[in-house]
Amino acid sequence: MSDTIIVTKEGLETLKNELKELTEVKRPQVANRIKSAREMGDISENAEYDAARQEQSFVEGRINELEEILKKAKPSDTKSNGEIIVGSKVTLRIDGEEEEYHVVGAPEANPKLKKISHESPLGSSLLGKKVGDKIVVEAPVGELTYTILHIK
């Protein structure tokens, strides 16, 4: 089943909540904006109408994307046996500094929040590793060596 998209249980809930918000709240709001803009008269030069239609396009696109992801989404296993899996929170040492990352499914990755995809170079290198293991990851700045300190 190569179409399967692995996500954390929390990530799955977040995606479901986003879909619910878009379909139950955002979609009706945008429809009302379009209706109001149409009532203003000529829509050929109506900036509010154009903006509302653009937003509608974005909302509908995201709804379609989320529906496809959720059709294929499968929560990751929660039993790690001391190994890093999707859902693990990992503390790594690199260049004397400690960093904590959360290994997540691709749709929930957010580097700013230190949520790295299991498909990324670092994430895929971490899968299956244990505390004390060292990994080398090719990065734009060259090879980086990480030591695994903790796994949660």
What pLDDT shows up at residue 60?
98
Spatial CA neighbour of 57 closest among 22, 14, 86, 92: 22
112-123 mean pLDDT: 95
What pLDDT shows up at residue 14?
95
- For the chain, percent of residues with pLDDT exceeding 70: 98
What pLDDT shows up at residue 45?
77
Give me 26's structure tokens.
């955002």
What pLDDT shows up at residue 1?
43
Question: In the chain, which ranges are E strands?
Answer: 5-7, 73-75, 89-94, 97-104, 115-117, 134-139, 142-151
27-41 mean pLDDT: 91
Q: Is 110 helix (H, G, I), strand (E, B) or coil?
A: strand
Domains, in order of start, for the chain: 5-75 (1.10.287.180), 89-151 (3.10.50.30)
Q: Which amino acid is at 66?
A: L
